[in-house]
């Protein structure tokens, strides 16, 4: 009973979404939807058909938007120095996890940390954390390339949705987060394939992107491509992150919630002159 009370007693968020930050987040997500979904939304005469040369520019658009979310929160008083410090610590931890195991054979435990942090600190924090983890780890591992903006927005969405999951407590919450972590592992992998699938020229017709074909036809081609190339990899990612949530979710959630209580993100800061003797 005490565990359940503690889980629901922390309502403070270091990144409560406000109008300007919400607008920036929505705009960043819309750019991401276009970046991922253009193969299913275009016809032969569409300007999006030349997307293969635009991926670097997508990075230039996305990164300022993510930074803009943080700046908007700082300017509106929604994110203080304690929240920035928390974001930095968790981003460094997530980058370290990716550096130690950069997706080898699907072993990628980063989603475990992101799901739990998004759950505790909220949707806005989860979105920013996911994007910054990718950016930081790319700098550490030298993984900067046209695929990075797709990774940033994909992992940002994982953290965002973790922050809006239904309320639950105790074992029920851990199972909820475990199921979500498993599903997000498959979704994240499926999204990242879209950064290169439309441009793969050596695929058989049943797996390749067909410019100008109906959306359902290309969706079928992509589903076959995903099962043939990435499904096994993502199964490992799902098992790893689901298992980590079930085994380590309770102490990690408790530690994050304890940090949130001690930080008192929503408590107004004030200064008082020292009393004279």
Kindly state whether residue 272 falls inside one of the protein's structural domains: no
d(CA 163, CA 111): 13
Q: Of 47-61, 98-112, 149-163, where does mean pLDDT reach its minimum?
A: 47-61
**Structural domain boundaries, residue 246:** 14-263
pLDDT number for residue 11: 43
266: helix, coil or strand? coil
The average pLDDT across 42-65 equals 58
61-193-206 Cα angle (round to 5): 130
Kindly state whether residue 43 falls inside one of the protein's structural domains: yes
Q: Of 87-96, 157-166, 193-202, where does mean pLDDT reach its minimum?
A: 193-202
For the chain, the domain total comes to: 1
Kindly state whether residue 162 falls inside one of the protein's structural domains: yes
d(CA 175, CA 249): 9
Kindly state whether residue 191 falls inside one of the protein's structural domains: yes
pLDDT number for residue 185: 93
- Asked whether residue 186 carries a pLDDT value surpassing 90, the answer given is yes
pLDDT number for residue 46: 54
Which one is predicted more confidently, 172 or 201? 172
Kindly state whether residue 274 falls inside one of the protein's structural domains: no
Q: Is 104 exposed, middle or buried (0-12, 13-18, 19+ CB in 10 A)?
A: exposed
pLDDT number for residue 8: 44
- Asked whether residue 53 carries a pLDDT value surpassing 60, the answer given is no
pLDDT number for residue 3: 41
- Which contiguous run of DSSP H or E holds residue 40? none
- Asked whether residue 60 carries a pLDDT value surpassing 70, the answer given is no
Share of the chain above pLDDT 70, in %: 72
pLDDT number for residue 113: 93
The average pLDDT across 183-192 equals 93
pLDDT number for residue 253: 94
- Asked whether residue 20 carries a pLDDT value surpassing 80, the answer given is no
Give me the count of residues in the chain: 277
pLDDT band with cut points at 50, 70 and 90 for residue 274:
low
pLDDT band with cut points at 50, 70 and 90 for residue 172:
very high
Kindly state whether residue 155 falls inside one of the protein's structural domains: yes
Q: Of 3-17, 91-105, 136-150, 161-175, where does mean pLDDT reach its minimum?
A: 3-17
pLDDT band with cut points at 50, 70 and 90 for residue 71:
low
- Which contiguous run of DSSP H or E holds residue 211? none
Kindly state whether residue 165 falls inside one of the protein's structural domains: yes
pLDDT number for residue 41: 75
Q: What is the pTM of this model?
A: 0.81
Kindly state whether residue 271 falls inside one of the protein's structural domains: no
pLDDT band with cut points at 50, 70 and 90 for residue 100:
confident
């Amino acid at each position: 009973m005490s565990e359940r009370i503690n889980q629901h007693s922390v309502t403070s968020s270091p990144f409560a979404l406000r109008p300007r930050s919400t607008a920036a987040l929505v705009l960043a997500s819309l750019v991401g939807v276009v970046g991922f979904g253009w193969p299913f939304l275009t016809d032969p005469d569409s300007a999006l058909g030349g997307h293969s040369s635009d991926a670097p520019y997508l990075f230039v658009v996305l990164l300022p938007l993510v930074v803009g979310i943080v700046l908007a929160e700082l300017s509106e008083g929604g994110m203080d120095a304690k929240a920035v410090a928390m974001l930095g610590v968790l981003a460094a931890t997530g980058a370290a996890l990716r550096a130690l195991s950069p997706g080898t054979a699907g072993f990628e435990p980063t989603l475990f940390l992101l799901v739990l942090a998004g759950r505790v600190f909220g949707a806005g924090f989860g979105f920013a954390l996911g994007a910054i983890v990718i950016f930081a780890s790319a700098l550490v591992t030298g993984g900067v390339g046209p695929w990075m903006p797709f990774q940033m927005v994909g992992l940002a969405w994982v953290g965002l949705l973790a922050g809006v999951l239904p309320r639950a407590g105790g074992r029920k919450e851990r199972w909820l987060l475990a199921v979500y972590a498993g599903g997000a592992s498959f979704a994240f992998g499926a999204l990242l394939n879209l950064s290169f699938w439309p441009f793969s020229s050596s695929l058989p017709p049943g797996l390749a992107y067909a410019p100008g074909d109906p959306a359902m036809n290309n969706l079928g081609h992509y589903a076959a491509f995903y099962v043939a190339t990435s499904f096994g990899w993502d199964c490992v990612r799902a098992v790893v992150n689901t298992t980590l949530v079930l085994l380590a979710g309770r102490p990690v959630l408790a530690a994050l919630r304890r940090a949130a209580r001690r930080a008192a993100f929503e408590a107004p800061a004030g200064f008082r002159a020292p009393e004279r003797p």
